[in-house]
Chains A and B, each alone.
Chain A
């Protein structure tokens, strides 16, 4: 499996073009703004609590800063991640380089994995750069490390699922905008599907809430690693990647 050369090439393309830089910048800018707003609000609340000790009981950094930050970041990711993956197959198909790439002696699976890993590394870089926020928090307050780690693990798993869906959509079309819209549509549906669980009720309600990306992410921000959530994201990612592989191979079978 020649995954490595494909991976290297994709990383080069990410950073040789402005895409990776722009995504990183925008993500950090928006996430940074949210962090600033949340942290300022928390500071204000702490000062009020200093005068009224009764309020101070409920105040902690995990619930007051990190959890809102994580859920804000997850929404930014919902909007930004389709842009990370839209190029991967669509652009190669449009420019014709896919024809060349797929006639090199590499398996379709290796091409897919190389591209997926490159997107994952770009994403991990996005997340790694946000570690400055908890570092800032830790400089001024006592930070609980457990929920921090699980929160990031949750973001990583959820992002991995986002990227897999994005790759799938990108393999279907030669238009990057279509790829990113389809990705966004699929992700948004899986995001909100749990909302109707309450009034559907019964076992269908449970199915709907189990399908929801949001429901499975929530636990991680509280510091809980539930194997059901992990399995959900791993399955979600696996299925999307499998479908992408099928979409790529379809070309070989469509006589």
Chain B
């Protein structure tokens, strides 16, 4: 549905994005991640047909965003980063204007507007002037204008920024409900949000794509081991030695607990659960066991690792490095 190929954008001497390529399949929800200034907004603006790329091509629904801009714009709903709205207009008339401009036939206009008012839960403020609305409501009006006319592709730049936790949950649910019917690309820096809403992620850093794919595959790629967080109250070195001797353990790292107590992270190959052995070790040595839990590597850790510039090393044996 979205095909981006070697997209490059330069603002004068500054390169905002370089050779960005990715595809988004129909009905998929993809999270577009990156630190501030990484090039997310630039990429989205190009996709929305607001500005051209310096090099490369981008196609939305089969149409070139530059040469067939109008065809593309008929098929997208776009929510820019800071939700620009006409503050003097009332919500209802504003959405009717958007519907009209997007070419929704007169007969359907009222129904479609009522529909998005309902879906974005802003029907109760339909008669209010946009300028008098709170940030959360404005955000939802912005989302509503993107949804009017049921576009096949939605480009949402930071759709949940500035909302309170309950509103965030609502917007997430709304976006999640779009899967299948719409193709969505959304940018955010709230990583748990991506894990909850998106089927895949694209991580961009300093204008270059550093990782992309389904979340679990990325996690596996960057963190190929199973890890267990352990806290044992015993002589530090003896505990470390004991843990390392458990069959299958690849590495033991220091991971102090919040209260400053000695803690360790035990790494083992994926699929190998060492928790029973850790417990046995504690019992044999009569060391009080105060914590024992599996820690999955999260998208957050993947993000920090790729954005910090560390090369992923899936081939290298982590155990080798530890010894």
Which residues on A are within 8 Å of B, measured CB to CB? Answer: 2, 4-6, 8-9, 12-13, 16-17, 95-100, 102-107, 251-255
Would you call the interface of chain A mostly helix, strand, loop, or mixed?
A: helix
CB-defined contacts of B48 to chain A, threshold 8 Å: 103
- How far apart sit A6 and B100, CA to CA, in the bound complex (Å)? 9
Would you call the interface of chain B mostly helix, strand, loop, or mixed?
A: loop
CB-defined contacts of A103 to chain B, threshold 8 Å: 48-50, 73, 76, 78
- Pair A5/B100 contact, Cβ less than 8 Å: yes
CB-defined contacts of A102 to chain B, threshold 8 Å: 50
Specify which of A5, A17, A105, A254 is in contact with B97 (CB 8 Å cutoff): A5
- Pair A13/B88 contact, Cβ less than 8 Å: yes
Q: Does B105 contact A (CB under 8 A)?
A: no
- How far apart sit A4 and B100, CA to CA, in the bound complex (Å)? 9
- Pair B84/A100 contact, Cβ less than 8 Å: yes
- Pair B80/A2 contact, Cβ less than 8 Å: no
Specify which of B49, B82, B100 is in contact with A2 (CB 8 Å cutoff): B100
CB-defined contacts of B49 to chain A, threshold 8 Å: 103
- How far apart sit A254 and B12, CA to CA, in the bound complex (Å)? 10
Which residues on B are within 8 Å of A, measured CB to CB? Answer: 10, 45, 48-54, 66, 69-70, 73-74, 76, 78, 80, 82, 84-89, 93, 97-98, 100-103, 129, 145
Given A100-B80, A104-B102: A255 touches B52 (CB 8 Å cut-off): yes
CB-defined contacts of B102 to chain A, threshold 8 Å: 104-105
Specify which of A2, A251, A254 is in contact with B101 (CB 8 Å cutoff): A2
CB-defined contacts of B100 to chain A, threshold 8 Å: 2, 4-5, 8
- Pair A12/B78 contact, Cβ less than 8 Å: no
- Pair B80/A13 contact, Cβ less than 8 Å: no
Specify which of A16, A98, A251 is in contact with B89 (CB 8 Å cutoff): A16
CB-defined contacts of B85 to chain A, threshold 8 Å: 97
28 A-B contacts (beta carbon < 8 Å): A2-B100, A4-B100, A5-B100, A8-B100, A12-B89, A12-B97, A13-B89, A16-B89, A17-B88, A95-B84, A95-B87, A96-B82, A97-B85, A98-B84, A99-B50, A99-B80, A100-B145, A103-B48, A103-B49, A103-B50, A103-B78, A105-B73, A105-B74, A106-B101, A107-B70, A251-B51, A252-B52, A255-B52
